[in-house]
Structure formats: C-alpha cells, structure tokens
Amino acid sequence: MGKCTINHSYGDVMTKLENQSPYMPDELVQDTYRFLQQTITQETLNELFHLLKKYDLASEEVRQERNAGLQKLIR
C-alpha cells in the first residue's frame, strides 16, 4: 500500500470499522475495537483506516493479507 497524505481521525477509523465489521472475522473486529480504546498515533490511525478501506470489496486473498496486517498492528 502506498503512503497516503490524508490524516484520518479516530472517528473516521471507528466509522470504517463499523461499516466493514460484517465482512470481517468476529474475533478480529472485537480485538480492533479493544485496540482503539487506547491512545493511538496518527500514523497508526491512518494505517488502520487503509487496512479497513474497501475490505468488503477485497478478494479473499487480499482479506487474508489485511487480516494479517490488522493482527500485526493491534497485537
């Protein structure tokens, strides 16, 4: 994924997670919500947003890659 110059807010990330959660594994959704209860850097918010962006439209292979990226980021 290329670097994005847009800073995404905490609210943007929460909205994106809410919208994409029906397409994601339940455990990953819950872990991500727990992670978002912490203080998070802008860089991490941006990375989370882009891992969630268009998750619902991604192929199964891309979803698996994003799941791995999310798990690495939040654990």
CB 17 within 8 A of CB 32: yes
Domain count, the chain: 1
Structural domain span for residue 19: 10-74
Other C-beta atoms lying within 10 Å of the C-beta of residue 19? 13
Identify whether 26 is part of a domain. yes
Identify whether 3 is part of a domain. no
pLDDT digits (tens, 9 = 90+) for 2-61: 566 789 999 999 999 999 999 999 999 999 999 999 999 999 999 999 999 999 999 999
- Rounded to two decimals, what is the model's pTM? 0.91
Instruction: Please report where in the chains the tokens 């978002």 appear, as a residue.
Output: 36
For 41, the token pair is 């850097």
> Alpha-carbon distance 75 to 59, whole Å?
24
Identify whether 50 is part of a domain. yes
